[in-house]
């Protein structure tokens, strides 16, 4: 192909070169004007002169991609006034002048010095002019011409994309459009067939075809199955020159994927599934799984499962696991090995989404048989009832039978059962149970008024396997017995007004009473109220039963007086309606009170008795006055005591003493328990029996002797201390009393040496205290006391 291309390019260049030279010759021979004008006669004999252009041209052509050794001759310019003597100079300007196109200024030949590419630039516009060689004076006006680059087939077709991806549904009809590919050619479409493209398929037959003019890819085979082959690779070629020999070509790859349609029904890989389930399994437990295979994908492959027939439809159910596309068989109700040992189910698998186009392919569902075997399990005992309710009368003797619970082993072995009470539900241990027959008995009398219902739990366990046990609730109702007498419903209290004998009796009750009974309603109301037989004819009060479990207390007479009796206690008997009836005697308190004319209660205290039996008003006033006087005396006494009281210790400025205690001993160490004698700290005068009181002013005041004070500037600390000790010892009014305790005993067996620095004055020391001189005036005293040894010796 490359050799054909080179030959074609050479022929085209040769042809165009000949055509260009012929055209230039023709233009030169036909367009050779003269600068001499010709004369024409005008109107009225006037002679007109017209100058003609010496040279005119329109355009030149040059072949692109010329690769010869010499520059290409584009054309030749010649003026009619050029006599060939070299006085005329040709000048070229415009696009590419001097770089791409050059002109021979003597002959006017134009050459292309570079290889031209039409795809980069199709034409150039230039200006030509003839001037005088010596003076550069234009001999003619400039003229414009065009140089066109003539196309050759030097560019192959190129597709817009290197690769294409397309999808088409499987089982599509023949001729279904898949995708259109497009190529372009950079050559000139208006010149020859260089840019005329034809499409063809190189790879992908016989499944696909391509339209030669449009590049549309279509299916070529019917019923292409995605499950057989999903992806196809197609190579498309675009060739210029109308597809003829010598044309250039380009290719692209197209990946075509078949998309899925629901054209396959689900199928079970086997006809029968075997499963098993224990009779101890609970509802909701998984029994097994089935799976129908569907080669379709996505929503086309979704499968749902249902039980359509079988003797276990009521005991089992199936659900769909959409993640694994499996049917999950689950237990719906408990199964019993002793009742039935095997079940059969018919399970159907069907597609969720069905494509009507492929409904003719058959039903998109399949069925399978699932056989489930029930396995025997050691089951716990089963009570004959889910719960029990028993009754027992209150106050029944211990050992009374309450009732019975009964359980049995559902297994074929029928193991014996043992019963027990859950003591967490019978903390007071009211009941006991026979472990063999399940009879429940009381252990003590029960009181319905404390607890009317008792709830316990009973266990039933196999004797040979105590871990297999069952539990049942037992409710025990305590039946009522009339063992409680009725009593007042509240602490009643009645009030009656003082009145004279002539005032008529009131028909209103003094108080209305009612009763309560702890027993049940069958042994309680109706209540009967009455007076005890011994006071049935009470002259003061009577009781009238209202026959509605209440009664009213009425006065039989008038003329009650607080001076005679202010309080009455009335016994009332209350009986209930139980069998046998119970009764109790309750006491009602009735007070005699003072009332106004309207009968309103004023006062119920016995003030008349208090005034007669107590003191007179004058006596009470006298007693109160005495009490007030005594209080005044006590207040004055306390005030005077506070004014006269002095502090126990007198702090006066002249009594302040400086106390200096010298500790010359380090202590007794670990073994010294007698180094310190507390007696030395006691007051020496206290030993003789004389202890001065601080709240008594001393008989004389001791004044220190002036002669005993050391000089202010004295450095003799020992004399200063001794002086202070002597003053303190001779002053009996100076608290506290000074004492000097000497600690001169280190203790026996102590490994520690002496820690005292008081002996440093009597021993040679290597310490240098001269630095105290540099500490300022505040340390001058210490510097004088602990100065250098030489200074000390000089002073002595």
Report d(CA 114, CA 556) in Å as an integer.
156
Contact 480, 523 (CB under 8 A): yes
| pLDDT for the residue numbered 113 | 82
Q: Which candidate, 151, 145, 170, places its Cα nearest to that of 58? A: 145
User: Does the pTM of the predicted model rise above 0.85?
Assistant: no
Q: Where are the alpha helices (DSSP H) in 688-761?
A: 717-730
Looking at residue 648, its pLDDT comes to 47
Report the C-alpha gap between 85 and 36 in whole angstroms.
Answer: 18
List per-block mean pLDDT (blocks of 10 residues) for the chain, which spans 796 residues.
Answer: 36 37 35 31 41 53 76 80 81 85 84 81 85 86 83 84 94 92 84 84 93 93 91 94 85 94 92 93 94 91 94 94 94 90 94 85 89 89 93 92 92 86 93 94 91 93 87 93 88 85 73 88 82 87 90 88 88 88 91 84 63 61 90 90 60 49 56 51 48 45 49 64 81 59 52 52 59 78 69 46
Query: How many other C-beta atoms can be found within 10 angstroms of the C-beta atom of residue 233?
Result: 11
Q: Which residues pair with 232 in a beta bridge?
A: 256
CA 3 – CA 681 distance, rounded (Å): 140
User: E-assigned strands of 249-315?
Assistant: 249-259, 272-278, 286-290, 303-310
List of residues 6+ apart from 310 with CB closer than 8 A: 343, 344, 345, 346, 370
The pLDDT score that the predictor gives to residue 697 is: 44
Q: How far is CA 686 from each of CA 535, 692, 748, rounded to the nearest angstrom?
A: 88, 9, 34
* Secondary structure element (H or E) that encloses residue 2, with its range: helix 2-30
Confidence (pLDDT) at 130: 86
* Chain-centre distance for alpha carbon 186: 65
Which tokens is 253 given?
Answer: 């790859």
Amino acid 3: pLDDT: 37
Task: Calculate the CA 329 to chain-centre distance.
Answer: 37
Q: How far apart are CA 704 and CA 654, in angstroms?
A: 11
* Residue 347, both tokens: 């399970």
pLDDT for 610 equals: 40
CA separation for the pair 734, 702 (Å, rounded): 10
Residue ranges of domains in the chain, CATH in brackets = 59-150 (2.60.40.60), 158-259 (2.60.40.60), 272-375 (2.60.40.60), 382-479 (2.60.40.60), 487-603 (2.60.40.60)
CB 739 within 8 A of CB 680: yes
Token pair in block for residue 261: 């349609």
Nearest-Å Rg of the Cα atoms of the chain is 71
Question: What is the token pair recorded at 622?
Answer: 């006298």
| Residue 762 C-alpha from the chain's centroid | 82
Q: Quote the pLDDT of residue 735.
A: 58
Torsion of CA 390, 393, 397, 401, to 10 degrees: -20
DSSP state of 416: -
Q: Record the tokens describing residue 766, joined without a space.
A: 């290597």
**Contact (Cβ atoms closer than 8 angstroms) between residue 74 and residue 110:** yes
Give the pLDDT score at 27: 35
């Amino acid at each position: 192909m490359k050799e054909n291309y080179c030959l074609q390019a050479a022929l085209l260049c040769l042809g165009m070169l000949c055509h260009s030279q012929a055209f230039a010759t023709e233009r030169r021979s036909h367009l050779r004007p003269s600068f001499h004008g010709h004369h024409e006669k005008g109107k009225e004999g006037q002679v007109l002169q017209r100058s003609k252009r010496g040279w005119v041209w329109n355009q030149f052509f040059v072949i692109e991609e010329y690769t010869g050794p010499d520059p290409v001759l584009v054309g030749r310019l010649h003026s009619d006034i050029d006599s060939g003597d070299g006085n005329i100079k040709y000048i070229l300007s415009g696009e590419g002048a001097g770089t791409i196109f050059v002109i021979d200024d003597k002959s006017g030949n134009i050459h292309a010095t570079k290889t031209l590419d039409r795809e980069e630039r199709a034409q150039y516009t230039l200006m030509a002019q003839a001037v005088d060689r010596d003076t550069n004076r234009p001999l003619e006006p400039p003229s414009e011409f065009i140089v066109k680059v003539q196309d050759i087939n030097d560019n192959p077709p190129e597709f817009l994309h290197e690769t294409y991806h397309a999808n088409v549904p499987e089982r599509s009809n023949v001729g279904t459009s898949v995708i259109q590919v497009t190529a372009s050619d950079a050559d000139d479409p208006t010149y020859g067939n260089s840019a005329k493209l034809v499409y063809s398929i190189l790879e992908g037959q016989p499944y696909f075809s391509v339209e030669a003019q449009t590049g549309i890819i279509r299916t070529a085979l019917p019923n292409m199955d995605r499950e057989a082959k999903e992806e196809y690779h197609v190579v498309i070629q675009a060739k210029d020159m109308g597809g003829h020999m010598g044309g250039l070509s380009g290719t692209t790859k197209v990946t075509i994927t078949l998309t899925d349609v629901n054209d396959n029904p689900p199928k079970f890989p086997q006809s029968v599934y075997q499963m098993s389930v224990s009779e101890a399994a609970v509802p909701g437990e998984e029994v097994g799984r089935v799976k129908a295979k569907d080669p379709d994908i996505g929503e086309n492959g979704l499968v749902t499962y249902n039980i359509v027939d079988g003797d276990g439809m009521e005991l089992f159910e199936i659900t769909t696991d959409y993640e694994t596309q499996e049917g999950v068989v689950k237990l719906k109700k408990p199964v019993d090995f002793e009742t039935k040992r095997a079940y059969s189910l018919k399970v159907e698998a069907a597609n969720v989404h069905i494509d009507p186009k492929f409904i003719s392919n058959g039903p998109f569902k399949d069925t399978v048989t699932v056989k489930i075997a029930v396995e025997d399990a050691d089951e716990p005992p089963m009570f004959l009832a889910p719960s029990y309710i028993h009754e027992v009368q209150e106050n029944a003797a211990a050992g009374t039978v309450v009732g019975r619970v009964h359980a049995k082993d559902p297994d074929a072995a029928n193991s014996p059962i043992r019963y027990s009470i859950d003591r967490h539900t019978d903390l007071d241990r009211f009941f006991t149970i026979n472990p063999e027959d399940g009879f429940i008995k009381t252990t003590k009398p029960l009181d319905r008024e404390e607890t009317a219902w008792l709830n316990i739990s009973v266990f039933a366990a196999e004797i040979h396997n105590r871990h297999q046990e069952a539990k049942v609730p037992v409710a025990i109702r305590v039946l009522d017995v009339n063992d409680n007498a009725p009593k007042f419903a509240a602490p009643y209290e009645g009030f009656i007004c003082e009145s004279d004998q002539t005032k008529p009796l009131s028909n209103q009750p003094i108080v209305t009473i009612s009763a309560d009974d702890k027993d049940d309603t069958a042994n309680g109301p109706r209540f009967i109220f009455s007076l005890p037989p011994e006071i049935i004819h009470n002259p003061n009060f009577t009781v009238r039963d209202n026959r509605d479990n209440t009664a009213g207390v009425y006065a039989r007479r008038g003329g009650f007086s607080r001076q005679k009796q202010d309080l009455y206690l009335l016994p009332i008997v209350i009986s209930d309606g139980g069998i046998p009836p119970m009764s109790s005697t309750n006491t009602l308190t009735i007070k005699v009170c003072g009332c106004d004319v309207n009968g309103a209660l004023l006062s119920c205290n016995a003030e008349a008795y208090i005034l007669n039996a107590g003191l007179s008003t004058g006596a009470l006033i006298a007693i109160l006055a005495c009490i007030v006087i005594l209080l005044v005396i006590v207040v004055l006494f306390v005030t005077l005591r506070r004014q006269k009281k002095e502090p126990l210790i007198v702090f006066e400025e002249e009594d302040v003493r400086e106390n200096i205690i010298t500790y010359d001993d380090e202590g007794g160490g670990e073994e010294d328990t007698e180094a310190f004698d507390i007696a030395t700290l006691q007051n020496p005068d206290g030993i003789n029996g004389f202890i001065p009181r601080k709240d008594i002013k001393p008989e004389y005041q001791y004044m220190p002797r002036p002669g005993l004070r050391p000089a202010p500037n004295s450095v003799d600390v020992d004399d200063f201390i001794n002086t202070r000790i002597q003053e303190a010892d001779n002053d009996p009014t100076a608290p506290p009393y000074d004492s000097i305790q000497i600690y001169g005993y280190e203790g026996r067996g102590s490994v520690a040496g002496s820690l005292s620095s008081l002996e440093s004055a009597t021993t040679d020391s290597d310490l240098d205290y001269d630095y105290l001189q540099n500490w300022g005036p505040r340390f001058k005293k210490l510097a004088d006391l602990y100065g250098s040894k030489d200074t000390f010796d000089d002073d002595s």
